[in-house]
Structure 1
Amino acid sequence: MRHSTLGIGSLLGVGIALAGTLAMAPASAAVTPGTATLSFDCGSYGSGTATLTATEDGTNATISLSTSAITSPIPIGANSVSSQLTLTKNGSDTAVFSGSSNPAIPAGGAVSTGPLSGTVASGDQLEATSLQVVVLGITATCNATSPQSPGPFVF
């Protein structure tokens, strides 16, 4: 009986210690805001608004983008758009997020791309400045014509 009491007491002590450790652990980091909008001018390809959605997992971050600034004249298959999003980092440096993921885009549909992958550090502030999209060997370069709203992504 004595061994059983010691075993239960030990398990209870370990459980309390683990609960205290978890309570003191920092909360997982989250990017704010999670979603932002801005306007792009893509020259002869058009202009319009874009919605950016950011996520973070440690130093790895992703941004997905959908924009009415570029529409597809023909159906585009999934994972056939190559994109590069350039962002101002902390007001002076730049960060580049890139990838070749996209959902299927119907003829006349707005271009969606992402997740585009990049690396961040805690406290980084990123604001989109330009987007390069390559579809079927044709490159469209878009420049931001407005700041991100409600503001830059803070990781």
Structure 2
Amino acid sequence: MRPSRFAGLAVLATAGALTATFALSSSAVAVAPATATATYNCGSWGTGLGTLTATDSGGVKKIKLTSTAITMPIGSSADPNSITTTLKTKKNDGTEVDFSGKVNPAMTGPNPITLGAVPLSSGSLATGNTTNSWLLTGTPSATNWSLRIVTSSPTVATVYCIATTNQSSAFTW
């Protein structure tokens, strides 16, 4: 019995799909764990648990922060991509590694925040390095912060936050 043309095409299509899958998966590097939690004190924006989600795709390392405990104040709002978020983290060797950028959905007070995913902006991370919260004590201020949130449109505000706990688990890049 002679194989049909359709069987040959099916084999070629399957091989092509596998090749594409391997090509796509090789550009993404797993960060372990993918999510962790930490507590932040953001003054008038609230204090509580935030969820951090880390990704590394094509060598671009990013962190996203969401929280139902940290909220924009009533009457404030932010247009999409109008918030500059800077997150300080501490690498396993004790040096500072920052993630910063303008990535956010539209938000209004008193709704929870969603910031990022913002890319690595200063410092370097090699395979196997770990990062964790930049722990601070005292009152959040311009000189004492682990997380800075700067809104520019339509509400203009700068909010300083301090991480009050380590992450539930450090990220291994």
Give 2:130's aligned residue.
Answer: 125
Aligned pairs, how many?
132
CA contact (8 A) 2:81 2:102 kept: yes
Deviates more, 1:118-127 or 1:93-102: 118-127
CA contact (8 A) 2:147 2:161 kept: yes
Calculate the TM-score normalised by the size of structure 1: 0.76
Distance in 2, matches of 1:117 and 1:109, equals 24
Give 2:54's aligned residue.
Answer: 54
Calculate the TM-score normalised by the size of structure 2: 0.68
What fraction of aligned residue pairs are identical, expressed as a percent?
Answer: 33
Deviates more, 1:70-79 or 1:44-53: 70-79
The change in CA–CA distance for 1:72 and 1:57 in structure 2 (over 3 A counts) is: same
Distance in 2, matches of 1:40 and 1:29, equals 28
Query: What are the residue-to-residue correspondences of 1:1-155 with 2, within 5 Å?
Result: 29-67=29-67, 68-73=69-74, 74-118=76-120, 119-129=124-134, 130-136=146-152, 137-149=156-168, 151-155=169-173
Offset, 1:77: 1.5
Offset, 1:91: 4.2
Structure number with bigger Rg: 1
The change in CA–CA distance for 1:28 and 1:110 in structure 2 (over 3 A counts) is: closer
Deviations 1:34-64 (A, max 9, x none): 0011100112332111011010125320111
Give the alignment's Cα RMSD to 1 decimal: 2.3
Distance in 2, matches of 1:102 and 1:27, equals 24
SS at match of 1:121: coil
The change in CA–CA distance for 1:27 and 1:59 in structure 2 (over 3 A counts) is: closer
SS at match of 1:146: coil
Deviates more, 1:95-104 or 1:41-50: 41-50
CA contact (8 A) 1:82 1:99 kept: yes
Deviations 1:106-154 (A, max 9, x none): 33111211011015211110112211001133111111111101x1100
SS at match of 1:32: coil
The letter of the residue matching 1:75 is S
